[in-house]
Amino acid sequence: MLEFEIKRLLLIYFKLHQNLEKNGGVQADGDLFHQITQYEKRILKKFGLPQSNKYVKMMWKIADSKTTLKNKNSLMLEQLSIEAEKYLASKPSSIQQIIKDARKNNLDPFDILPEIYVGPNSYTLFLYNEILLKTSELDNEILEEFSRIKNNGCLMDIYMLTMMDLYKNSEAYKKLKLYGLKFIDAYIIWYRSKKESKEKIVLQEVNKNDDERVEDALVMLIFAFRRFQKFRNWGYGENNARSLSGLTDDKLFKIAKFAFAINS
């Protein structure tokens, strides 16, 4: 019964992928991409796996492979079963151990946060990158903060604070404090400093001359083409790889390819 349910989910997942490629990729159909991520979560959960980059990349590689639907289904079942066995055998005994390993190896939050059942967003990424990775003294407090976020479903309230000048006077702030969130003020300070840095970069761009802008644009296109190649090496279809790299426009893609070739 469980295997039948997994096969049913996989069939829907593969069809959604086909539709996404037909529609022009991730940038062309964000709603469809969101549906795909929801099915990824459900499928991985059936195998006891977190929705981390490692497993998502593997699923995309199989979904984009040029083979029959039947072969994709069999390959996905086999690979996820193997990964589930590995994960179960190597899984740390506690969340504290996961955090310790993450800090020691400076691991990607998009791999680690799903492991501890936390969704990546601006606030949780701040807690992970700016506090958890930098010190072990606040581990328990950060884990408690993650629990408060999940239990109270308050991410929208946190987001609203970033748009307020006098956020401490708001009802949202008072509510978050009642929930016991401890790092809101530190987050707002960090968020605003990042925003100010971005605004300075924009001003610098405005003051650049045309030659500098052209040079910067070519550098960005070269990086975009490198990302495209990386996605292709991971097994993504050409349309999806171009979409994920921001190179859906044919002329832009050709320029990026040429710029990459003459600078290699």
Token pair for 5 = 């349910």
What pLDDT shows up at residue 53?
A: 83
The dihedral formed by the CA atoms of 228, 229, 230 and 235, expressed in degrees to the nearest 10: 100
What local confidence, expressed as pLDDT, does residue 184 receive?
Answer: 93
CB proximity list for 10: less than 8 A, separation 6 or greater: 43, 72, 73, 76, 77
Spatial neighbors of 46 by CB under 8 A, at least 6 apart, are 2, 5, 6, 9
* Residue-level pLDDT at 192: 86
State residue 215's pLDDT score: 64
Provide the pLDDT for residue 92.
60
Taking only the tens place, the pLDDT of each residue in 105-150 is: 888 888 888 877 777 778 888 999 999 888 888 888 988 998 898 8
pLDDT at site 264: 57
Low-confidence ranges of the chain (pLDDT < 50): 201-202, 205-206
Predicted pLDDT at 211: 56
Domain ranges of the chain: 2-89, 95-196, 210-262
Predicted local confidence at residue 116, as pLDDT? 79
pLDDT recorded at residue 183:
93
CB–CB of 25/244 below 8 Å? Answer: yes
pLDDT at position 238 is: 78
Angle separating helix axes 238-245 and 210-233, nearest 10 degrees = 140
DSSP labels for 20-75? HHHTTSTTT-HHHHHHHHHHHHHHHHHTT----HHHHHHHHHHHTSSS-HHHHHHH
Spatial neighbors of 31 by CB under 8 A, at least 6 apart, are none
Instruction: Name the residue with tokens 């581990």.
Output: 139
R_g of the chain computed on alpha carbons: 22
Amino acid at site 213? R
